[in-house]
Amino acid sequence: MSSARILVVDDEADIRSLLEEILAEEGYEVAVAANAAEARERYATTDPDLVLLDIWMPDVDGISLLREWSASRSRLACPVVMMSGHGTVETAVEATRLGAFDFIEKPVSLAKLLRTVERALESDRGGRAGRSIVPPSTTPVGRSRAIQALREQAERVAGHDTPLLVTGELGSGRELFARYVHSMGPRAQGPFIRLAAGTLQDSGAEAALFGRASQGKVEPGLLERAQGGTLFIKDLQDLGPEAQRLLLGVLENGRFKPVGNGAVQPLDSRVIASAPPGAERSAPPGLRRELLMHLSVVVLAVPPLREYPEDVPDLLRHFLDKLVDSQGLAFRRFSVAAQNRLRNYPWPGNVRELRNLVHRLLILGGDEEIGLGEVEQALSDTAPPDEPLLSQDLMALPLREAREQFERAYLQQQLQLCEGKVGRLAKRVGMERTHLYRKLRALGIDFRGGSDD
């Protein structure tokens, strides 16, 4: 499936470049034209799904071009959205009469632009069978090397039916990558059935997985519901012993039978599971090694957000636009200082924590620009009460006290991210281990609950 094709027609090079970049990042195929002559040529050769058309251009204005396209057939070949920095009511009315889908004022609001583009494409979906009009929302966001490489790996394994293990920390986006693999593979039109492993009790595991036959009727289980699609098991390590035994039998035999007198059914679904980092090398306590071996033929390791902080600004914009659109919240944007602060925040809760932060700031509302102070307050509201904050106003303290507070907060946070392991902390912060022990003692940081690995 290919993404929708959008033609941007505007005589201002900066605007063309900006819109091309924004739309390309959203997954669309973009062509540009600087005047009416180029627009006619691109319109005829690219067969666009949508045109963003500026009204005021040097050779032929956008209204005249719209009239020309509208007159060439009974209806426009695709939706057209008009753009203008100084339009009038009369101009907007004329554009609507000629078949324009909508009218956007410049400077263009990113949230409004993307909402309008999606609505316009959705309105024309019926006439474009076989083409993916709106880019799938399952595509993981990010331009860092780490995420680009992971997307490419996911796309390579998507075409195969082998079981898949997606590892990563809580909140890192494991389910998103599982959905992305499903959406890119041959089972994309089939169901994506999600099982939170911790909710499956051993006493009812067989019926829940295989279904139940009673009085000639079969109540479908998870595996039957996932036939032709994907069964995603969230947090595989939380499966009970009986559920693990049953699932292992299905993977080994390739078939299952509903409880009762149901007929044996072949397994016709891909199984994807998520687990903690490194699970494929060292099975979590209670997880059967044989089951893990069946599910870890291919492993996607999703990195924690702190390992690709360069993607934080893109993720902030993504969740801002998504939440504004889906929940009707007032649009806001992060200042450069606020974005920089969040790039340097360690994100112990990963992408989920970032999304929750954006959601909270939109719900609370305020000025259109989210400043550094508001971000600092939001971070302090979610920090443990006994943990010093890197966001304190250190400028008000003497140098020695400010340095100590910074070092204490920094090392406490890093030690938490290293799971209390001082050896790992030494490598992470670039300190010699003996010196690090002295520093931790001097700052009063309790490291005895961890280990020296």
For the segment 280-324, what is each residue's pLDDT rounded down to a tens digit?
Answer: 998 888 899 999 999 999 999 999 999 999 999 999 988 988 888
Supply the pLDDT for residue 406.
Answer: 82
How would you class 379 by CB atoms within 10 Å of its CB: exposed for 0-12, middle for 13-18, buried for 19 or more? middle
Supply the pLDDT for residue 258.
Answer: 85
Q: What is the mean pLDDT of residues 33-59?
A: 89
Q: How far is CA 412 from the centre of its chain?
A: 29
Q: How confident is the model at residue 132 (pLDDT cuts 50, 70, 90)?
A: very low
Supply the pLDDT for residue 73.
Answer: 60
The percent of residues above 90 in pLDDT, for the chain, comes to 38
Q: Distance between CA atoms of 217 and 224, rounded to whole angstroms?
A: 14
Q: How confident is the model at residue 125 (pLDDT cuts 50, 70, 90)?
A: low
User: Per-residue pLDDT for 173 more than 90?
Assistant: yes
Supply the pLDDT for residue 77.
Answer: 78
Supply the pLDDT for residue 391.
Answer: 43
Q: What is the mean pLDDT of residues 229-240?
A: 94
Supply the pLDDT for residue 1.
Answer: 37
Q: Are 173 and 137 in contact (CB under 8 A)?
A: no
Range with the largest mean pLDDT of 137-141, 155-159, 438-442 = 155-159
User: Per-residue pLDDT for 167 more than 80?
Assistant: yes
Q: Distance between CA atoms of 272 and 236, rounded to whole angstroms?
A: 10
The three-state secondary structure class of 229 is: coil
Q: Where are the domains of the chain?
A: 5-127, 145-303, 306-382, 399-442
Equal CATH topology for 145-303 and 306-382: no
Tokens of 174: 């494991």
Residues with Cβ within 8 Å of residue 56, at least 6 apart in sequence: 11, 62, 84, 85, 86
Predicted confidence (pLDDT) per residue in 314-354, tens digit? 999 889 888 887 788 888 999 988 898 898 888 989 999 99
Supply the pLDDT for residue 119.
Answer: 83
User: Per-residue pLDDT for 248 more than 90?
Assistant: yes
Q: What is the mean pLDDT of residues 76-80?
A: 85
Supply the pLDDT for residue 236.
Answer: 94
Pick the more confident residue, 349 or 387.
349
How many Cβ atoms are within 10 Å of 328's Cβ, its own excluded? 7
Q: Are 359 and 323 in contact (CB under 8 A)?
A: yes
Supply the pLDDT for residue 72.
Answer: 65
Supply the pLDDT for residue 136.
Answer: 44
Q: What is the mean pLDDT of residues 25-32?
A: 88
For 5-127, CATH number out of 3.40.720.10, 3.40.640.10, 3.40.50.2300, 3.40.50.720 equals 3.40.50.2300
Helix (H) or strand (E) segment spanning residue 142: none
Q: What is the mean pLDDT of residues 42-58?
A: 88
Q: Distance between CA atoms of 49 and 47, rounded to whole angstroms?
A: 7
Q: What is the mean pLDDT of residues 154-171?
A: 93
Q: Which CATH architecture has domain 306-382?
A: Orthogonal Bundle (1.10)
Average pLDDT of the chain? Answer: 84
For 145-303, CATH number out of 3.20.20.70, 3.40.50.300, 3.30.70.580, 1.10.3720.10 equals 3.40.50.300
Among 26-35, 62-71, 190-199, whose mean pLDDT is lowest? 62-71
Q: What is the mean pLDDT of residues 166-179?
A: 94
Range with the largest mean pLDDT of 24-38, 81-95, 406-420 = 24-38
Supply the pLDDT for residue 144.
Answer: 92
Supply the pLDDT for residue 409.
Answer: 79
Alpha carbon separation from 240 to 203, 217, 233, 309 (Å, rounded): 10, 28, 13, 36
